[in-house]
Amino acid sequence: MKLSIIETGFFKLDGGAMFGVVPKSMWARLNPPDEKNLCTWSMRCLLIEDGAQKILIDTGIGQKQDEKFMSHFEPHGDDSLKLSLSNAGLSVEDITDVILTHLHFDHVGGAVQKDAQGRLYPTFPNATYWSNHKHFQWALRPNAREKASFLKENFVPLMEEGVLKFIDNEPGAHLSDNISFSFVNGHTEAMMIPHILLPNGRTLIYAADLMPSSFHVRKPYVMSYDIRPLVTLEERDAFYKSALPENVFVFFEHDPQHAIGKLIQNEKGRFAFDTSMGFEGVVGLSG
């Protein structure tokens, strides 16, 4: 098994929205905002090469949205989905599976492209895309709170092209022997959390927006984007109780600096992430 970070660039989101009820005087020390109160966040994806399977988790924001849309989020940086895949020695044609943790635009936008005539088509022509029935139906009929995040051009073409398949939303759901899923409902309905079994027996959890960055480890740090913040708190509690004794690693999709961390608990009983090992250290563990 080989794991590679696929960087797709950075974007900006309102700091208050990303940190919820936490005062700016506290969160600004973690991720300083610009003059518009916007903080920079990564759109980091993960590539898993496991035998014949070349599996990509999430796809970033993509490049097909118009200038007005992009101006709200200021995507920037030298990285892109295709460039990062190329740096990993692969092309879009090589990807066999794309796991979509959920269908918000910053996670699924790169799944579909638009040609010069405006035709929408899957970015990965030989891949099967994976979601789950419950979340897909939720995204098709969005509530007012999430409507701006569910852009149908990002995922309906996958259904129309017949390349979208569904994973059952139940305990024990899996894509392969080494990739299973849990499901959480605080951020959005039935978001998929991939659990990747490493060759040494440890587990890497792709946290998606359950834990968007290492900053969000403290319980009050719940995004205002979450549709059920109290459920998020419960899900984080359950995550801490399982992750701490199992010695798992956590992959951060939006952390501006750190791709990976290990959950620890300090002498005061507070949870934190040890990010000192870095991604390369974990890749070394996975062989």
First vs last Cα of the chain: how many Å apart? 7
Strand 164-166 to strand 271-274: parallel, antiparallel, or no bridges (unpaired)?
unpaired
Q: Which CATH superfamily is domain 2-286 in?
A: Ribonuclease Z/Hydroxyacylglutathione hydrolase-like (3.60.15.10)
**Residue spans of beta strands (DSSP E) within 51-115:** 53-57, 97-99, 112-114
What are the pLDDT digits (tens) for 158-176?
999 999 999 988 888 999 9
Query: In 3D, which of 11, 34, 61, 6 has the Cα closest to residue 256?
Result: 11
**The pLDDT of residue 287 is above 80:** no
How big is the CA angle at 102 (ends 101 and 105), to the nearest 5 degrees?
120
Check residue 187 and give its pLDDT.
98
b/e burial code for range 103-141 (CB count within 10 A of at least 16 → b): bbbbbbbbbbbeeeeeebebbbeebbbbbbeebbebbee
Give me the count of residues in the chain: 287
Distance of CA 192 to the CA centre of its chain: 9
User: Which residues sit opposite 14 in a β-bridge?
Assistant: 38
27-to-36, 72, 124, 225 alpha-carbon distances in Å: 15, 21, 38, 16
Decide: 225 and 187 in contact? Cβ < 8 Å. yes
Check residue 146 and give its pLDDT.
96
Distance of CA 126 to the CA centre of its chain: 22
Distance CA(282)–CA(213), nearest Å, equals: 17
The pLDDT confidence band at residue 24, using thresholds 50, 70 and 90, is very high
Check residue 282 and give its pLDDT.
81
b/e burial code for range 75-102 (CB count within 10 A of at least 16 → b): beeebbbbebbeebebebebbbbbbbbb
**The pLDDT of residue 231 is above 60:** yes
What are the pLDDT digits (tens) for 172-192?
899 999 999 999 999 999 999
